[in-house]
Structure 1
Amino acid sequence: MTEMLNSLVSAIGDVCSDQQNDWLREALTKLENSKAPATDLGRCSTQARRQLGRQPLGAGYSPLISSVGPVAIDHWESGDAGRIAMILLCLQREPEQAETLATSLFRQGDESERAAIVRGLALFPSADRLKPLALEAGRANSLVLVSSIALLNPYPAAYYSDREFNQMVLKALFVRLNADLIYGLGQRVSSELSRMCEDYVDELLAADRDVPPEIWMALLPYASVKGVEFVRRYLDDPNPLHRYYSAKAMVQSLKRFPELRAALDQRFTLETDEHVREILGAAAGG
């Protein structure tokens, strides 16, 4: 945990001012020497965003390595990263308090504090016991909280049941988050998830509503004949995002559906969007 903490503090330091870094060092020192770390952590966490700001850490930083996979931090903001750094410091002292500490902070914190905790769940000791917090975030009527657990977070892929994972994917699609950013989707997609996505597309089309382009990544791997036809149809959609994600899903599923190669080759001769052409070129190269 020391290595993770040092990496995170270094990344925060690169985007913060000297004054902000001084505050973080003082806060960490206070927590390291505190006789009531849980109480002091709550106070410091409340101040973190105001003191450290909201600068994105940005590219160039290696993910933090948890027991269940890498946790990307490039999309984290400095204030939220500071909150996780302070939690990690406290858990170095008392790792057995991870469940109590994370739950207490989650219950007392505002939306941004709760989201920061959820993004860091995989980094905490006894992470499997923190699933109630993850599930609660995913059920919230808040894009911030739903995205904090659903996107670029290895926690659900590691700890969710099939039912829980499928519901999270459908919720992400429903609120129009980019489901292609769901960690481990390719490994956790199942016949049941593909069926649920097919049903959702049916509902949307019947209601004359837009279909989220990223849905093809979850629908195609175990699609029925009807589901495959959905994906083929959207390969020629006017929206380049639909063409991109239908092509990407088709390329990744060619071993299961080799008959799709002809459609990809035909689309390649017509395609003008450079991003879609790049995906289609991968099929041609295969």
Structure 2
Amino acid sequence: MTLDVVSPLSPALTLRHAAFAERRRQLEQQLDDPSRRWWHEALEQLARQPSADTLVLLSSQCKRRLGQPAPLTGPDTERIQLARALLLAQLLEHQAGSDQLALLRQLFLWGDDQEKSVLLKVLDDLDSQGRSLDLALQAGRTNNREVFAAIALDNPFPARHYPDRAFHQLVLKTLGMGLDTGRIVGLAQRRSVDLNQLALEHMEEQLAAFRSVSDALPQAIAFELLSQAQCQRLRGLCQQRRLPAHWLEHLPPGA
């Protein structure tokens, strides 16, 4: 006799409903009458047919229905991003009794770069408990600058849910891609001796390859936690003009 094995559902995601209510208010303020009619029809269609297929269809229509003729401007892009984020949230709410995490993974897999980016930017509000950590880590392995920036910059999810090693790798990849580490949420609270070592190793690699060191690199370093030898090394590099003089301002007095 054989028994059917039913895989257990992942725990339900916890959405931040107030955050999406505010996004909806922002979007409604930006819509003219034709766009507003289409938007309300889209929400009704998704409510009637709450599936990944419906969402993908509506998401693809957002650019044409909510944007102006190309090229898209800043306000157009904002409207499209808000609409796609709200569609994601509504579908997840309708799927509360199913495996929402599997659905989220499916939507990420199916999405184009812009749709992936929207999902990642609002991931912390879609999943306030961090159950989608594996999805976020997978997204962070991309070499696509836009998609990586969506999880790395101005996003509270890594600060709240990444273990130290993953967070450190995020910082290093941000530096490697030439992005602004100052936009990594929670970086100041995550600075440590270990991150110092990784950041200085990155600096040495750049110098050895005769590349300029990122101006954002000091933001990743807890200068007060540097060893005496590390401080002396940085001071020497500044004196040799291999590092900008402003690095000296970060060093503790007497170091």
The reply to whether TM is greater than 0.5 is yes
Aligned to 1:50: 64
Deviation at 1:101, TM superposition (A): 2.1
The CA distance in 2 between the partners of 1:103 and 1:3, in whole Å, is: 23
Q: Higher mean Cα deviation, 42-51 or 175-184?
A: 42-51
Contact 2:192 2:222 in 1 (8 A): no
Deviation at 1:238, TM superposition (A): 11
Deviation at 1:258, TM superposition (A): 4.5
Q: Deviations over 1:198-241 (max 9, x none)?
A: 0111111111101111110112343233543537966997999x
Asked whether 1:85 is paired with 2:100, we answer no
Q: Deviations over 1:38-61 (max 9, x none)?
A: 321121122223332355469xxx
Specify the SS of the correspondent of 1:129: coil
Asked whether 1:163 is paired with 2:165, we answer yes
Asked whether 1:40 is paired with 2:74, we answer no
Change (3 A) 1:131 1:211: same
Aligned to 2:13: none
Aligned to 2:219: 217
1:4 corresponds, among 14, 19, 35, to 19
Q: Deviations over 1:3-41 (max 9, x none)?
A: 322210221233444333332222112222x24433211
Over the matched positions of the two proteins, sequence identity in percent amounts to: 28
The CA distance in 2 between the partners of 1:139 and 1:28, in whole Å, is: 33
Q: Higher mean Cα deviation, 1-10 or 140-149?
A: 1-10
Asked whether 1:120 is paired with 2:89, we answer no
TM-score of the pair, normalised by structure 1: 0.71
The CA distance in 1 between the partners of 2:117 and 2:35, in whole Å, is: 21
The residue type paired with residue 214 of structure 2 is P
How many aligned positions are there? 233
The CA distance in 2 between the partners of 1:157 and 1:144, in whole Å, is: 19
The residue type paired with residue 20 of structure 2 is L
The CA distance in 2 between the partners of 1:246 and 1:83, in whole Å, is: 46
Specify the SS of the correspondent of 2:137: helix
Q: Deviations over 1:122-162 (max 9, x none)?
A: 11146522122211221111100110010000111111111
The residue type paired with residue 64 of structure 2 is R
Change (3 A) 1:226 1:12: farther
The CA distance in 1 between the partners of 2:231 and 2:214, in whole Å, is: 16
Structure 1 stretches lacking a partner, 5+ long:
59-75, 261-286
Aligned to 1:132: 134
Aligned to 1:73: none
Q: By percentage of residues, which structure has more helix?
A: 1
Specify the SS of the correspondent of 1:104: helix
The residue type paired with residue 224 of structure 1 is S
TM-score of the pair, normalised by structure 2: 0.79
Structure 2 stretches lacking a partner, 5+ long:
1-15
The CA distance in 2 between the partners of 1:82 and 1:36, in whole Å, is: 16
1:26 corresponds, among 32, 41, 48, to 41
The residue type paired with residue 54 of structure 2 is D
Map 1:1-286; keep pairs closer than 5 Å. Answer: 1-32=16-47, 34-53=48-67, 55-56=73-74, 77-96=78-97, 97-125=99-127, 127-221=129-223, 222-229=225-232, 230=234, 243=246, 247=249, 250=250, 257-259=252-254
Change (3 A) 1:44 1:232: farther
Contact 2:28 2:36 in 1 (8 A): yes
Contact 1:12 1:57 in 2 (8 A): no
The CA distance in 2 between the partners of 1:237 and 1:15, in whole Å, is: 51
The residue type paired with residue 38 of structure 1 is A
Change (3 A) 1:189 1:235: farther
